Structure 1
Amino acid sequence: MKTTLTSLTLALGLSFATINAQAADYAIDTKGAHASINFKIQHLGYSWLVGRFNQFDGEFSLEDDMSKSAVSVTIDTSSIDSNHAERDKHLRGDDFLNVDKFPEATFKSTKVVPKGDGKFDLHGELTLHGVTKSIVIDAYKIGEGKDPWGGYRAGFMGSTKLKLADYGITYNLGPASTHVDMELHVEGVRK
């Protein structure tokens, strides 16, 4: 009986240890504006046009073994903001994002490949303008820890380059403007 009780206690202890070692789930902190999805694209090869998407939502799970982590994000494409109302109206139209037909863009990770020192490649499927393509985001972990309000946060930064034509956006902006650089800043609050 003593052996059975000891085995049961050990099994329960291992079960709780396994539960504690599982992924922690985080909501991306868009309410506090501690996350942003930014872009830049060359304008005629003379300068950079910069902007952002103001409305998006997402979550991620974070594990000690980074390769088992996952991310998903949904972007309201009508929230594009280049700090110029007329240009934003054009960007929302048929020549570019066509937000009436494609009101959302989504990203869902498929694989995380750690590279050491907090750096990793985040592989996933990006759906934009009705087209889904595999992309890789070059990312790194900035840090994690308790916040002053009793919560726990983790933050990351990443970047990638998208070829517009891959997503059916073929409006001619000139040879210097075929790709858009994306820069992502993500801070999540543990659920």
Structure 2
Amino acid sequence: MKKTLAAVVLTAMLSPLANAADYVIDTKGAHAFINFKTSHLGYSWLTGRFNDFEGTFSYDAEKPESAKITVTIDTASIDSNHAERDKHLRSDDFLNVKDFPKAKFVSTKITDKGDGQLEVAGDFTLHGTTKSITIDAEKIGEGDDPWGGYRAGFAGTTEIRMADYGMKEILGPTTVMLELHVEGIRQ
């Protein structure tokens, strides 16, 4: 009887974990992107991306709120399609990549809002400062790929303010909008 009860309890505890799958974000195949957009003097948009990052996530379609996400960004990989501007963005005036070569996001809570809509809360560390952010996300899809693997894809947006991360706001209050596209390969 004790063995049966222990088996039932153990199975109940492990069942939620058994359905979650682990994924590696497909940066090698260029199926994931971290893009940014910020106002340029109020006249136009400055856009760009981070070219080098890596991450993992666990996901269970039956329990999306149990997902876990970790992403690490190489801040020196910032790319606004202008070499001199990128050099300035890497400098002490902004990202200070010499002292802060990595940015990192670690999820802390996922809220399933229904119909594939998710609210992803987590800790974002940038420029040596960690703040809680929320990403409005959506599940794009999941399924078998043509190479015998299985993939899941998501997109999301969030906004951060440079001053919140100890960076100078040379031209006034600066908000940066982040647009995320993540496709993971199940491991």
**Same fold at TM > 0.5:** yes
RMSD: 1.9
Q: Report SS of the residue matched to 1:149.
A: coil
Who is 2:58 aligned against?
61
In the alignment, the residues of structure 1 paired with residue 86 and residue 171 of structure 2 have an alpha-carbon distance, to the nearest angstrom, of 15
How many residues were matched structurally?
180
Question: Residue in 1 aligned with 2:47?
Answer: 50
Shift of 1:134: 0.2
Pair 1:149–1:18, CA change in 2 (3 A): same
| Aligned-partner residue type, residue 105 of structure 1 | A
Q: 1:22 aligned to 2:19?
A: yes
How far is the alpha carbon of 1:22 from its aligned partner?
2.8
Q: Which runs of 5+ in 2 are unaligned?
A: none
Letter in 2 for 1:91: L
Q: Which has the larger radius of gyration?
A: 1
The C-alpha deviation readout for 1:15-65, integer Å capped at 9, x for no partner, is 8x9388431000000000000000000000000000000000000000221
Counterparts of 1:1-191 in structure 2, within 5 Å, are 18=15, 21-63=18-60, 64-175=62-173, 178-191=174-187
Q: CA deviation at 1:170?
A: 1.6
Residue 32 of structure 1 aligns to a residue whose secondary structure is: coil
Letter paired with 2:181: H
Match of 2:49, SS state, is strand
Cα distance between partner residues in 1 of 2:41 and 2:139: 34
What is the percent sequence identity of the aligned residues?
63
- Letter aligned with residue 45 of structure 1: G
User: Does the CA contact (< 8 Å) of 1:44 and 1:174 recur in 2?
Assistant: no
1:135 Cα deviation (Å)? Answer: 0.2
The one-letter code matched in structure 1 to 2:146 is P
Supply the AA of the counterpart residue of 2:141.
Answer: G
Task: Answer with 58-67 or 25-34: which moved more.
Answer: 58-67
| Mapped partners of 2:19, 2:67: distance in 1 | 10
Letter in 2 for 1:150: G
Query: Aligned letter for 1:68?
Result: S
- Separation in structure 2 between the aligned mates of residue 153 and residue 131 of structure 1, nearest angstrom: 33
SS in 2 for 1:88: helix
Q: Matched residues in 2 for 1:162 and 1:121: separation?
A: 16
| TM-score, length-scaled by structure 1 | 0.89
- The alignment's TM-score, normalised by the length of structure 2, stands at 0.91
Distance 1:172 1:61, change over 3 A: same
